[in-house]
């Protein structure tokens, strides 16, 4: 998704609804594979709005929500790695 979100940002700025729908569909599928329901739901709404060329929909807000969700996932992943590392250190020196 490191490549997809910047592409999505450009598509949104250009109001390229076809590309927005395509990229949102990709995010929806990827997030579904990883069982990230909240991201999947946002991507689904984004895709549907783009397919309907809904100009009233807040595409930027959806993109922001996706980024925030991924940021939280990354933070959680770092916390898990830190916890495992601390356990490893603790077991090594006990």
Per the structure, how many domains does the chain have?
1
User: For residue 25, with 0-12 CB atoms within 10 Å meaning exposed, 13-18 middle and 19 or more buried, which class applies?
Assistant: middle
Q: Kindly state the DSSP code that residue 54 receives in the 8-state scheme.
A: -
Phi, psi at residue 22, to the nearest 5°? -65, -45
C-alpha angle 63-68-73 in degrees, rounded to nearest 5: 125
pLDDT mean over 79-87: 82
Q: What pLDDT sits at residue 27?
A: 95
pLDDT mean over 66-80: 86
Domain coverage including residue 79: 4-93
């Amino acid at each position: 998704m490191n490549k997809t979100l910047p592409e999505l940002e450009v598509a949104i700025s250009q109001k390229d609804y076809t590309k927005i729908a395509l990229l949102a569909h990709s995010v929806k599928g990827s997030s579904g594979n990883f069982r990230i329901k909240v991201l999947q739901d946002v991507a689904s709404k984004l895709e549907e709005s783009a397919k309907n060329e809904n100009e009233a929909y807040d595409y930027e807000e959806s993109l922001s929500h996706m980024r925030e969700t991924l940021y939280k996932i990354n933070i959680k992943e770092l916390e898990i790695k830190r916890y495992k590392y601390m356990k490893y250190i603790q077991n090594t020196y006990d």
